[in-house]
């Protein structure tokens, strides 16, 4: 059976109901829902490779989930898809350290370009979708970078598992 790849797309913390407060019970519940969907894809869809865009928020939560699941599923791998070398430069020290900690544990790193350009995030998102069989999106349904990525994935015929960041309802779009 062919192994499959999944990438993640989702909102930054400021667009989530709990903001940057990861101690909020809603954040814990969202991370748990994300974990359950990752496990479902591993066990039911033979997904073994995951790609994170390494942005603050959902990308990092997903990457940390995959890294934690490696203990139970040693065959899974994590790739960081980095839009540009300077992605984390303007972040807080704590977020930069978290970013570099995740990056150091990835099995593969793909740097899409060295310097920032206004379209580098879009290029990163298209790379992730193009190299995936399925997408997990934590998305409110409103227009956003995440929405653009979902639209692109659907146009490319990729199934998208959508987790609503408020209700945590899970739906699949094709």
User: For the chain, what are the domain ranges?
Assistant: 4-173
pLDDT at residue 97, rounded to an integer: 97
What pLDDT, in 10s, does the model give residues 42-81? 999 999 999 999 999 999 999 999 999 999 999 999 999 9
Across the beta sheet with 108-111, the strand order is: 108-111, 77-82, 47-52, 4-10, 134-138, 160-163, 170-173
pLDDT at residue 152, rounded to an integer: 98
Chain-centroid distance, C-alpha 133: 14
Q: Is the pLDDT of residue 1 over 80?
A: no
Q: Which segments of the chain does DSSP mark as H helices, in order?
A: 25-45, 58-69, 93-105, 120-130, 145-155
CATH architecture group of domain 4-173: 3-Layer(aba) Sandwich (3.40)
pLDDT at residue 40, rounded to an integer: 98
What crossing angle do the helices spanning 93-105 and 58-69 adopt, rounded to 10°?
Answer: 40
DSSP state at residue 52: E
Reported residue count of the chain is 174
- Tell me the average pLDDT of the chain: 96
Q: In terms of pTM, does the model score above 0.75?
A: yes
What pLDDT, in 10s, does the model give residues 29-46? 999 999 999 999 999 999
- DSSP symbols for 67-81: HHHTTT-TT-EEEEE
Distance between CA atoms of residues 82 and 104, nearest Å: 13
């Amino acid at each position: 059976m062919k192994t499959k790849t999944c990438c993640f797309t989702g909102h930054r913390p400021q667009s989530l109901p709990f903001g940057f407060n990861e101690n909020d019970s809603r954040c814990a519940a969202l991370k748990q829902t994300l974990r359950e969907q990752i496990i479902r894809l591993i066990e039911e869809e033979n997904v073994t490779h995951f790609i994170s865009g390494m942005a603050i928020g959902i990308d990092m939560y997903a990457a940390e989930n995959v890294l934690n699941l490696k203990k139970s599923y040693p065959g899974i791998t994590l790739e960081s898809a980095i839009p540009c070398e300077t992605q984390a430069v303007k972040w807080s020290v704590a977020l930069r350290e978290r970013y570099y900690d995740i990056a150091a544990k990835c099995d593969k790193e793909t740097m899409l370009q060295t310097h920032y350009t206004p379209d580098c995030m879009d290029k990163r998102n298209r790379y992730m979708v193009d190299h995936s069989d399925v997408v997990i999106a934590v998305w409110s349904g409103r227009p956003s970078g995440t929405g653009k990525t979902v639209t692109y994935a659907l146009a490319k015929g990729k199934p998208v598992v959508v987790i609503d960041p408020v209700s945590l309802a899970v739906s699949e779009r094709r």
